Structure 1
């Protein structure tokens, strides 16, 4: 899995093209008129449906007053065409999840808040099976197994030799005490979490019940920050629910979620104490 995968690059090109157009004061119709094409061409570029044609790219960036950006965009387009998304070999990947998989793979830093369950990047196989399976099973056994395999493959980014992301997780105590899959599964899951804290690129903080109310009571979220190659990218906040995923990508939205995350880091136990907390919980399970 390369860090700059096609899905992440296409998203950056789309967002940056739109940001540059809006900063220059042009609407999509004006940009389309300059290249002599339909407005839908601009819309498809700015929604990551299509990559810009080289000739159109030069005209548009000149129109936006940033002709010096041409080499960067050209390089990104080449990378997007050359690469391959790692999850294409998996079956039954939900459509809403494909964008997130690309962004997660391309992230330099992943900051998450989880209130109810252990996040997918940290789950053991048995825990993942318990989460995705019964009761109220909506998928076949084959679909569940495929989804678990996909989740396990996602975790490879934590150990990749080239530029593994820095991961900082704030886990509510409730997520650690809820016995998903029964005592044995939960005990192994907690021990796995403790082992993960030994990796230099992973920090886990436990938000104990004693912390009281906190600013994330309205839900779980993940903040994705990208490498320097993604010039001007403010990052992404991802929130998943039963119907799919929501993405927040404006500077103001990112600032709001970052403030919440920083406040939770202060309220939560320090990483060293959190590891002890997790190990003690694992010993309490009978």
Structure 2
């Protein structure tokens, strides 16, 4: 079910994505769709790329043309919520939330399942403030104390928005042994971080696995990524894969692309230690510090 807290940015995306797929499945051209709403091909292009939302009558005419008039109520609700809603990160400035990251924040908080592979550090959704502060400060020494503090605040806000809601998603994280042993912030900070992981692992919707160094070469050697799955009501959305470089975020949204990453993740889950072994493994690591 599409949660009431779903980001307006994501609702717009879903309306656009679904309408494009319904048009293509119905064998309707953009020109034919434009004629149905007495608009231009450019209008349809803007609707299908989430640059604008269709008006209610336009939406009903398009759905009738595509052969699914029974979905009008669903789409009209999404449209209304997209118009009236407010993205949760709106209070953070551009230096804290770069443009490329906004979509991810919306998608992450709207997903019903979040699966990730982290090879270098603990996933952001589970980082303690001290651990996050060390990662952010050492990752970019040019940042001021105020900028570091705001980015830590954003990271903690993400956790509250995603994990601490009544309709929290299922989360499955595969984390490399190297990430859990990297002494971010020193032994004390890392020990507190590991204890926090064990605590969060108790949540019924969260699973974690360790991929030990002894596993050798594996399908995750190209780097971390996150796979997002969305509500079943968004019938044509295959999900999204997100990965990030120093300068931009990369989104993979085509079904074939998402399928590749789902296969990689499945192989990592199979190679990793069993989820029930996670607490014991982490406690042993804490004793080694």
Q: SS of the residue aligned with 1:69?
A: helix
Secondary structure (helix, strand or coil) at the match of 1:86 reads coil
1:250, distance to aligned residue in structure 2 (A):
2.1
**Equivalent residue of 1:89, what SS?**
coil
Unaligned runs of 5+ in 1: none
Deviation of 1:159 (Å)? 4.3
Which range moves more in the overlay, 221-230 or 34-43?
34-43
Tell me, yes or no, if the aligned pair for 2:240 and 2:258 is still in contact at 8 Å.
yes
Aligned to 2:7: 5
Confirm or deny that 1:266 pairs with 2:273. no
CA–CA separation in structure 2 for the residues paired with 1:57 and 1:88: 28
- CA–CA separation in structure 2 for the residues paired with 1:3 and 1:279: 36
Pairing partner for 1:280 from 281, 284, 287: 284
Change (3 A) 1:158 1:283: farther
Residues 16, 135 of structure 1: CA spacing in aligned structure 2 closer, same or farther, 3 A cutoff? closer
Aligned counterparts of 2:152 and 2:84: Cα–Cα separation in 1? 28
The verdict on how the C-alpha distance between 1:149 and 1:206 changes in structure 2, with shifts beyond 3 A counting, is same
Within-5 A mapping of 1:152-167: 152-167=156-171
What's the CA shift string for 1:241-285, capped at 9, x where partnerless? 112111112222222211111111111001121221111111111
Aligned partner of 1:23 in structure 2 is 25
Change (3 A) 1:242 1:161: closer
Deviation for aligned residue 1:137: 1.7
Following the alignment from structure 2 to structure 1, what is the Cα–Cα distance between the partners of residues 164 and 282?
Answer: 25
Q: Which residue of 2 aligns with 1:108?
A: 112
Q: Aligned match of 1:241 in 242, 245, 259? A: 245
Q: Structure 1 stretch 116-125 or stretch 20-29: which is displaced more?
A: 20-29
- 1:203 — aligned with what? 207
Greater CA deviation, 165-174 or 25-34?
A: 25-34
Residues 94-123 of structure 1 deviation map (CA, whole Å, 9 limit, x = unaligned): 111111111111111100001111111011
Measure how far apart 1:227 and its partner are. Answer: 2.1
The residue that corresponds to 2:88 in the other structure is 86
TM-score, normalised on structure 1?
0.93
The aligned counterpart of 1:231 is 235
1:135 shift after superposition: 5.9
Q: Distance in 2 between matches of 1:60 and 1:2?
A: 25
State the 1:23 CA deviation: 1.6
Deviation at 1:2, TM superposition (A): 4.7
Give the TM-score normalised by structure 2: 0.93
Q: Does 1:222 align with 2:219?
A: no
For the Cα contact (< 8 Å) 2:108–2:162, is it kept in 1? Answer: no
Task: Determine the C-alpha separation between the residues in 2 that align with 1:134 and 1:190.
Answer: 19
SS at match of 1:246: strand
Secondary structure of the residue aligned to 1:133 is helix
Aligned equivalents of 1:103, 1:27: Cα separation in 2:
29
- Of 161-170 and 28-37, more deviation after overlay is shown by 28-37
Counterpart secondary structure, 2:90: helix
C-alpha distance in 2 between matches for 1:195 and 1:209: 24
**Per-residue deviation at 1:131?**
1.1
